[in-house]
Structure 1
Amino acid sequence: MVASCISFVSLYGSFLRRSLTASGLCPQSVDVDAYTTIHYWGPKPQPASTVSPSSNGDHRKSSLVLIHGFGPHGVWQWRQQVSFLAPYFDVYVPDLVFFGESITKSSERSEIFQASAVGKMMEKVGVSKYSVVGTSYGGFVAYRMAEMWPERVEKVVIASSGVNMRPRDNQELIKRANVKKIDELMLPETAGQLRSLFRLAVINHVYMPDFFLNDFIDKLYSENRKEKLELLKGLVLGQHETPNISPLQQEVLIIWGDEDNIFLSDMAKELKEMLGKNASLEVIKKAAHVPQIEQAKTFNKILYNFLCDSS
């Protein structure tokens, strides 16, 4: 009876929101065009009279955008990074379209559309230069933002994100997960399917009862399921056996867990070569697909050093 009445996912979600509030962020929404609204956590808006006329709207800090992956929206994936980085950066954590409270009436579903929406969000809030960090699906979006706006995006971090994937990589992932279709893994509907995802995504496999996993699915995976399936099918990257990846103008840091079973570590090495001379790679030991959660201290140190290196 107790298990059916208490939502541990809702309780933890409340903790996450309090944590971001304690870091100086607050929830906000902005209409980026006539069809699309982006919800995000960001610095509290300042009265116009106190805003510096600098390119970032605040002369004291650089701006940083943290882009979440497929699954739980931003606050679930970046809490430890926000707590660590907020004293040094103006941190923005958007919900991608159809995640959290971000929504659109547009029929567009590609990662290019997601990148455009986040870029417009930053323009609307008055930030013209920023660095981007994207994990997993968010790495696809971060890559596209850097490609589309080299004059705006200063540095790029791609974490655990096979933007160089091929159709065969998807098929091999389906086999590793022991599922019939990729959406059974990325959009689990049952406790068993969610366990398959956790088995590949994290190293420490703590047993969780079905009621907890079902609560997780209900609160974080069920909403906008149809549209999220369309997002998976709408990816432009990953559709061809020869990846269409071009080097970026910006400095790029690739971060990977050495035991990632979603995107294998060989993909990280190949991606570094594809992105050219401006790219570097950091592999974090004892981490799988979410090193920002499993090895947060190491991840944060690597991230901070890269973002603050002026060389």
Structure 2
Amino acid sequence: MRAPAGGASATALAAAMNIKQPLHGASTLFALLSLSLLLLRLLLRLRLAAFRDAALSLHLLARLRLRPVLLCLPSACHDGGAGAGATTLRVWCPAAPSSKPPLLLLHGFGGDAKWTWARNLPRLSRHFHVYVPDLVFFGAQSRSASPLRSVAFQARCAAEAMRLLGVPRYDVAGISYGGFVAYRMAAAEARDAVGRLVIMTTGVAATPGEMRAMAAREDRTVEDALLPDTAEGLRFLVRRSMHRPPPWMPDFVLDDFIQLMYVDQKRKRAELLHELLKTGAGFDPLPVLTQETLIIWGDKDQVFPVDLGHRLHRLLGERSRLEIVRDAGHALQLEGADHVNRSIKSFLLDERVGPGAGAGRK
């Protein structure tokens, strides 16, 4: 289904308030040993997707020195008196301070932070102080009692998390659904905090009516397309999201991934989808951003056609640049990982001018 904000991160299967304290010393060693034992148990049981998930956590902790921080965001859930309810957000953060410039990475609809950015974090973390949240209702710990499901709500939560983490100004990169959230942050909820913006394969320039029309032309509902509950459904999503999908996708691996990624909070994510189709980013008309913006698109995108990238570029004008990644589909952060990594680094570091432009440059 050519559904909005599709499963870019699902395709990785192919390839200051209540802040928990960082892991140090013996605690870090214990966590690494526990994860190692979990990896062995999962491998012996042939739960390959769960094994990969634990391996990604181990890699982030041990190699990239990123740690999971759980934040409580009560004030982010209020919208003019409505939507009260506690919200928790898990964010992968650097374990130690550095002079590198901060970069917030926002994942798409098909998975969580680890799976979406698996091929990007090793390179980007060399140059940036990365912050990688699981958006609300994604991952095991990002939850909310609020009834709100809008992109504006997600943007407020991400902005509040960065405030609680003590990051006053930062660049943002978002893909697919995360691009809607990134655009909303830059235009409204975190306008004064967002420096530069990277938008990847995000149909934010489409009207909600156009997105509903795209969804209606397909032979399955948006929930079936983006929240699959069968191996066949997930196989469809992977092939829709990738220009070069893996040739071997056995049912037992896909079923394991579904249990890992799509069962928990499925109803709430379906509500997010319907709200996205109804209101998009929540603007009418879409505002022109003041931030310098890099737009990156796969030339074989079957979820959001590349024409939407050209439309967004025309809207933003001279303060934007459009890059097309050849032979890449919607999951361009995976299929075109090297291109994406180079482009983000060049745009946010090498091309920046003005005071402090070279901070963290390597």
TM-score w.r.t. structure 2 length? 0.77
Cα deviations by residue, 1:266-303 (Å, 9 ceiling, x for unpaired): 11101111223211100000100011111111110011
Deviation for aligned residue 1:169: 3.6
Paired residue for 1:96, among 129, 135, 139? Answer: 135
1:291 and 2:332 correspond: yes
Any conservation in 2 of the 1:251–1:279 contact (CA below 8 Å)? yes
Pairwise mapping of residues 254-269 of structure 1 onto structure 2 (< 5 A)?
254-269=295-310
Match of 2:51 in 1: 11
Paired residue for 1:138, among 178, 195, 200? Answer: 178
Relative to structure 1, the CA distance from residue 73 to residue 200 in structure 2 (aligned partners, 3 Å threshold; closer, same or farther) is same
Deviation for aligned residue 1:80: 2.1
TM-score w.r.t. structure 1 length? 0.89
Match of 1:193 in 2: 233
Distance in 1, matches of 2:262 and 2:284, equals 29
Pairwise mapping of residues 34-49 of structure 1 onto structure 2 (< 5 A)?
35-44=86-95
Pairwise mapping of residues 205-284 of structure 1 onto structure 2 (< 5 A)?
205=245, 206-235=247-276, 237-238=279-280, 244-284=285-325
Amino acid at match of 1:238: G
Distance in 2, matches of 1:103 and 1:248, equals 30
Match of 2:210 in 1: 168
1:79 and 2:130 correspond: no
Using CA pairs below 8 Å that are at least 6 residues apart, which structure has the higher relative contact order?
A: 2
Deviation for aligned residue 1:105: 0.6
Amino acid at match of 1:44: A
Deviation for aligned residue 1:3: 10
Match of 1:68 in 2: 107
* Runs of 4+ with >3 A deviation: 2-5, 168-171, 236-240
Any conservation in 1 of the 2:298–2:306 contact (CA below 8 Å)? yes
Distance in 2, matches of 1:145 and 1:11, equals 34
Runs of 5+ consecutive residues of structure 2 not aligned to the other structure? 1-41, 75-84, 354-362
Match of 2:352 in 1: 310
Deviation for aligned residue 1:246: 1.2
Distance in 2, matches of 1:239 and 1:20, equals 31
Any conservation in 1 of the 2:180–2:281 contact (CA below 8 Å)? no
Deviation for aligned residue 1:185: 0.6
State the SS of the aligned residue for 2:146. Answer: coil
Any conservation in 1 of the 2:43–2:51 contact (CA below 8 Å)? no
Distance in 2, matches of 1:279 and 1:245, equals 15
Cα deviations by residue, 1:9-53 (Å, 9 ceiling, x for unpaired): 01111221122221121111111216111101001156xxxxxxx
Calculate percent identity across the aligned residue pairs.
36
Any conservation in 2 of the 1:163–1:237 contact (CA below 8 Å)? no
Any conservation in 2 of the 1:4–1:211 contact (CA below 8 Å)? no
Indicate the larger mover: 258-267 or 84-93: 84-93
Relative to structure 1, the CA distance from residue 94 to residue 234 in structure 2 (aligned partners, 3 Å threshold; closer, same or farther) is same
Deviation for aligned residue 1:237: 4.1
Deviation for aligned residue 1:188: 0.8
State the SS of the aligned residue for 1:267. Answer: helix
Runs of 5+ consecutive residues of structure 1 not aligned to the other structure? 47-57
Any conservation in 2 of the 1:97–1:104 contact (CA below 8 Å)? yes
Distance in 2, matches of 1:286 and 1:84, equals 21
Distance in 2, matches of 1:257 and 1:174, equals 23
Distance in 2, matches of 1:197 and 1:128, equals 37
Amino acid at match of 1:171: A
Amino acid at match of 1:42: C
State the SS of the aligned residue for 1:30. Answer: strand
Match of 2:77 in 1: none
Relative to structure 1, the CA distance from residue 179 to residue 190 in structure 2 (aligned partners, 3 Å threshold; closer, same or farther) is farther
Indicate the larger mover: 219-228 or 78-87: 78-87
Deviation for aligned residue 1:115: 0.5
Amino acid at match of 2:51: L
State the SS of the aligned residue for 1:164. Answer: coil
Coordinate RMSD, CA, aligned: 2.1
Amino acid at match of 2:70: S
Any conservation in 1 of the 2:299–2:326 contact (CA below 8 Å)? yes
State the SS of the aligned residue for 2:302. Answer: coil
Amino acid at match of 2:220: K
